[in-house]
Amino acid sequence: MGNYRFIISGGGTGGHIYPAIAIANELKKRHSNAEFLFVGAKDKMEMEKVPKAGYEIKGLWISGLQRKLTIKNLLFPIKLIQSLLKARGIIRRFKPDVAIGTGGFASGPTLKAAASSKIPYILQEQNSFAGITNKLLAKNAAKICVAYDGMERFFPKGKLVKTGNPVRADLVKLNVTRETASEHFKLNPNQKTLLILGGSLGARRINQLVAEKLDFFEQLNVQLIWQCGRLYFDEYKGFESETVKVLAFINKMNFAFTAADIIISRAGAGSVSELCLVGKPTIFIPSPNVAEDHQTKNAEALVEKNAAILLKESTIDSDFETIFKTLLDSPDQQKELANNIKQLGKPKATEEIVDEIEKLLK
């Protein structure tokens, strides 16, 4: 058992944070004496989620550039210089053996500082369209672990390893009963349950859709676990009822997935990877507001294999009720989608990424 030291940086959204925590947990399992330090952005959700997972985190004063001229943009060069200096100090004091970046603003200064101290690092890119931070860091990376084919568009081909995306360990085996899961949400285990996932911050258009369709769901005798996201919780918590459970965030995702018969979700890379392991019939409503429309591309890859349904935001009003009711009324279609999506899961993604990290320790 080596007394290794690992620095892990990634955050801003759950899509960057959960892979980082999953990688740390797998490293800890293999090296129980190892020490870990996370580096995040000061005002982002990693500052709360990482300590909750049992790891220490340091915050940098860093944020991305806005698309229009703002005060935040004028502050960006100052934030970047200050973050680089702080990251260098963190690296110098902690002396990691390896650094790991999972995307997000804080990983830029952290891994730049690691490179200048000759610390090897690995990148993990979750999306089918690479993030700007990871593209900038690719040149000095030892390896880049990816989840999609065709990533040589963004990264040096020789550094790529296709591993899939790490997911939370409790999703690999949904080891709770439907009764226990339903009871946790105070729902009826014998009634059809729809799980709505808008990502950690929430999805405005999905929330609007659900609010508009509550009578429709009631007519169909469908109960809801509605994760509306922390940005929208105050707006929608008033819709809570015996059959509609409104949550800012779901801590026990394995319970939510077990209770669900059908899932509506965004198509971010982390969500897609998790839902492939879960194996439930899913309607993807991709966010149209992401770089290169990569959520739509993620969803289309599954639709091609008859493993999910794609509903575009632009056609929600005209198509949603028909698509949902058709799926609800067809056990055969539900079964087929569930079986097909399950076959695309990569349950060993975390282990394969950690195998690559271990090579650097040798």
Least confident window among 25-39, 75-89, 241-255: 75-89
**Mean pLDDT of all residues in 111-121:** 96
Both tokens assigned to 34: 């190892």
- All structural domains of the chain, each given as residue ranges with its CATH number in brackets, are 5-165+348-361 (3.40.50.2000), 170-342 (3.40.50.2000)
| Residue 260 confidence (pLDDT) above 80 | yes
Confidence of residue 150 (pLDDT cuts 50, 70, 90): confident
Does 326 appear as a known binding residue?
no
Look at residue 32 in the predicted model and tell me its pLDDT. Answer: 95
Look at residue 174 in the predicted model and tell me its pLDDT. Answer: 75
Helix (H, G, I), strand (E, B) or coil at 61: coil
SS (H, E, C) 293-351: HHHHHHHHHHHCCCCCEECCHHHHHHHHHHHHHHHHCCHHHHHHHHHHHHCCCCCCHHH
Question: Which has the closest alpha carbon to 225: 201, 190, 261, 267?
Answer: 261
Does 15 appear as a known binding residue?
yes
Does 198 appear as a known binding residue?
no
Look at residue 299 in the predicted model and tell me its pLDDT. Answer: 92
**Mean pLDDT of all residues in 227-248:** 96
Helix (H, G, I), strand (E, B) or coil at 9: strand
Identify the DSSP state of 143.
Answer: E
Does 168 appear as a known binding residue?
yes
Please state, as a whole number, how many other Cβ atoms lie within 10 Å of the Cβ of residue 93: 9
* pLDDT tens digits for range 9-52: 988 877 789 899 999 999 999 999 999 999 999 988 899 999 99
Look at residue 69 in the predicted model and tell me its pLDDT. Answer: 61
Both tokens assigned to 172: 């690999």
**Could you tell me the pTM of the whole model?**
0.79
* pLDDT tens digits for range 117-142: 999 999 999 887 788 889 999 999 99
Does 104 appear as a known binding residue?
no
SS (H, E, C) 159-222: HEEECCCCCCHHHHCCCCCHHHHHHHCCCCCCCCEEEEECCCCCCHHHHHHHHHCHHHHHHCCC
Does 13 appear as a known binding residue?
yes
| Residue 169 confidence (pLDDT) above 80 | no
Q: CA-to-CA distance for 94 and 73, rounded, in angstroms? A: 31
**Mean pLDDT of all residues in 53-79:** 75
Q: CA-to-CA distance for 357 and 351, rounded, in angstroms? A: 10
Look at residue 258 in the predicted model and tell me its pLDDT. Answer: 96
Please state, as a whole number, how many other Cβ atoms lie within 10 Å of the Cβ of residue 29: 13
* pLDDT tens digits for range 288-313: 987 678 899 889 989 989 999 999 99
* pLDDT tens digits for range 182-205: 999 999 999 999 999 987 778 999
Helix (H, G, I), strand (E, B) or coil at 263: strand
